[in-house]
Amino acid sequence: MHLDDLPFSHEATITAIDWDSLSERDGRRLRELGFDEGVAIEPLHGAGFMVRDPIAVRIGRMTVAIRRAHAAAISVAPLS
């Protein structure tokens, strides 16, 4: 399952990130924000009623916004 498919308010663990599908800049940004294998993550909400992009996710103690295209590069395993 990819992060963009994970329902909101469901915790998961990052199992893999397809770094090759991301630009160098985007990959570096995600690494700097703490995205890596084994990290707990939880999608919180989308941008709005009619807009699906970006999505807010909790990673560690931070809440960050990422594009759905980037979330599609992140494989996750739901915790429950």
Structural domain boundaries, residue 22: 3-78
If one counts the domains in the chain, the total is 1
What percentage of the chain carries pLDDT values higher than 70? 98
Q: What's this model's pTM, rounded to 2 decimal places?
A: 0.89
Q: Which two tokens stand for residue 48?
A: 């709005």
Q: Which residue did the predictor score with more confidence, 57 or 48?
A: 57
At 47 the pLDDT is 80
With a cut of 90, say whether residue 50 has pLDDT above it.
no
Mean pLDDT over residues 27-53, rounded? 90
CA–CA dist 32, 38 (Å, integer): 15
CATH code at 17? 2.30.30.90
